[in-house]
Amino acid sequence: MTTLEQFLRAHPDLRFIFTGGKGGVGKTVTAAALAYFFATQGKRTLLASLNPVHSLSSIFAQDLTGGEIKPVKGVNNLQAVEVETKDVVARYRENISRRVREFLKWADIPVDPRPFVDIAVTNPAFEESAMFDKMMDMMVQEKEAFDVIVFDTAAVANAVRLIGLSKIYGLWLSRMIESRKEALSLRVQLAFRKDKVMEEVKKDPLLADLLSMNERFNQVKELLTNGTQTAFFFVTLPLALPISVVKRFITMVSAYDIPVGGVLVNGILDRKVAEASDEEYLRNKFEEQLGYLQTIKQDLGPMVRSFIPLYPQEVVGLHTVATVANDMLHYMPDFWEDL
Ligand SMILES: Nc1ncnc2c1ncn2[C@@H]1O[C@H](COP(=O)(O)OP(=O)(O)OP(=O)(O)O)[C@@H](O)[C@H]1O
Ligand SMILES: [Mg+2]
């Protein structure tokens, strides 16, 4: 097994970290702990929450709301942002709306653009598209200001769709660009000499807009699939459902050539705790956990990077985040070896 510590040492140039997994398994906690770790290594680190409901403020026990990047008090080099879905969606809606209007105007289609805009912005994946767009923005814009960005993504289905979307997005963009070029050159060919056609085509604002979207998209795709710079970590608990979600997730992500950093197993009930207890409940839980850990070892063994103990209380406050970061790197349940 390659531990998290070994993995991080072997990947000194990581810049984009993602945590994924079923709801409630500890994605935000592990994202925070990873960000904390990078910051304490002296890397300028940004922890970005892209969830509809945020929990960074509660984890760090300080106000990180408002959608702006704020320094995390008490840790050098660490800043955090809870991206406001509402603002992102509103801005994205405006952009789409502008594009639809421009397109209809350019195509000389004298219709009310509103129904077209409505269709575009009420599709079920719209919010995710908007968040994906925002994430792309951050990857491109903040990469000079920060050495490492840790993204705390939303629920599993959402993140998978984000990734799936990126392929469709690229396809859609290149089609749009091609058809725009064709239409333009036909029109321009009538008005200009042949050697001037490409020059004129390049001046077209709609095409320029599409080209810059495409360039940004390709840039992000390159970053997202770059195994030295990017790693997706999947978080699970020793329970059936979260494990199967992680397996499904790893298969999907690998199909998109997105590098998997590994699996973080959260919420481990320590043997000492279980055995010291008079509660039959805890001892039963411990036995049950052994079964699930066996499954994890069998199905995901080589991908497992670390274990995080189940704490007697929630992860709240800086020193608890520090504990998670430390345990994530050093805690090893004594029963793992013999499973
Ligand atoms: N190892 C642990 N021991 C004790 N409590 C934990 C542990 N890991 C996470 N928690 C608690 O479990 C809850 C869920 O954790 P977290 O918010 O990180 O999950 P999540 O996967 O981000 O959830 P969501 O899908 O809602 O975003 C939080 O209250 C957190 O403090
Ligand atoms: Mg979360």
SS3 letters for the chain?
Answer: CCCHHHHHHHCCCCCEEEEECCCCCCHHHHHHHHHHHHHHCCCCEEEEECCCCCCHHHHHCCCCCCCCCEECCCCCCEEEEECCHHHHHHHHHHHHHHHHHHHHHHCCCCCCCHHHHHHHHCCCCHHHHHHHHHHHHHHHHCCCCCCEEEEECCCHHHHHHHHHHHHHHHHHHHHHHHHHHHHHHHHHHHHCCHHHHHHHHHHCHHHHHHHHHHHHHHHHHHHHCCCCCEEEEEEECCCHHHHHHHHHHHHHHHHCCCCEEEEEEEEECCHHHHHHCCCHHHHHHHHHHHHHHHHHHHHHHHHEEEEEECCCCCCCCHHHHHHHHHHHHHCCCCCCCCC
Answer yes or no: CATH 3.40.50.300 is held by domain 4-86+129-330.
yes
Q: Residue 35 pLDDT more than 50?
A: yes
First to last CA, the chain: 13
User: What average pLDDT does the segment 191-200 reach?
Assistant: 68
User: What average pLDDT does the segment 128-134 reach?
Assistant: 81
pLDDT in tens, 278-303: 889 999 999 999 999 999 999 999 99
pLDDT in tens, 77-125: 999 999 998 888 888 888 888 888 887 787 777 888 788 778 777 776 7
What lies within 8 Å, CB to CB, of 292 at 6+ separation is 238, 239, 240, 243
Question: What pLDDT does residue 223 have?
Answer: 87
Of the ranges 52-56, 71-75, 198-202, which is most confident? Answer: 71-75
Q: Return the higher-pLDDT residue of 26 and 182.
A: 26
Residue 115 is which amino acid? Answer: P
Residues 190 and 244: their CA atoms lie apart, in Å, by 59
Q: Return the higher-pLDDT residue of 164 and 116.
A: 116
Alpha-carbon distance values, 189 to 171, 185, 198, 270, 291 (Å) = 27, 6, 10, 74, 70
Task: Report residue 278 as tokens.
Answer: 């008079």
The vertex-49 CA angle with 43 and 50, nearest 5°, equals 130
Ligand 1: lining residues by beta carbon, under 6 Å: 21, 23-29, 51, 55, 155, 266-267, 308, 310-311, 314-315
- CA 28 / ligand 1 centre spacing (Å): 7
Q: Return the higher-pLDDT residue of 324 and 154.
A: 324
- CA 232 / ligand 2 centre spacing (Å): 15
Pocket test for ligand 1, best of 22, 28, 264 (most atoms within 8 A of CB): 28
Q: Residue 155 pLDDT more than 50?
A: no
Q: Return the higher-pLDDT residue of 159 and 262.
A: 262
Question: What pLDDT does residue 166 have?
Answer: 65
Long-range contacts of 121-124 (CB under 8 A, 24+ apart): 121/93, 121/96, 121/97
pLDDT in tens, 183-194: 777 777 776 666
Residues 22 and 325: their CA atoms lie apart, in Å, by 21
Residues 141 and 307: their CA atoms lie apart, in Å, by 33
Confidence of residue 42 (pLDDT cuts 50, 70, 90): very high
Residue 56 is which amino acid? Answer: L
Q: Average pLDDT, whole number, for the chain?
A: 87
User: What average pLDDT does the segment 189-204 reach?
Assistant: 69
- CA 34 / ligand 1 centre spacing (Å): 14
Percent of the chain, pLDDT > 90? 52
Question: What pLDDT does residue 190 have?
Answer: 72
Q: Residue 157 pLDDT more than 60?
A: no
Question: What pLDDT does residue 154 have?
Answer: 64
Closest ligand to Cα 309: 1
pLDDT in tens, 229-269: 999 999 999 999 999 999 998 988 888 788 999 999 999 99
Residues 72 and 32: their CA atoms lie apart, in Å, by 11
Q: Tokens 């760090």, residue?
A: 60
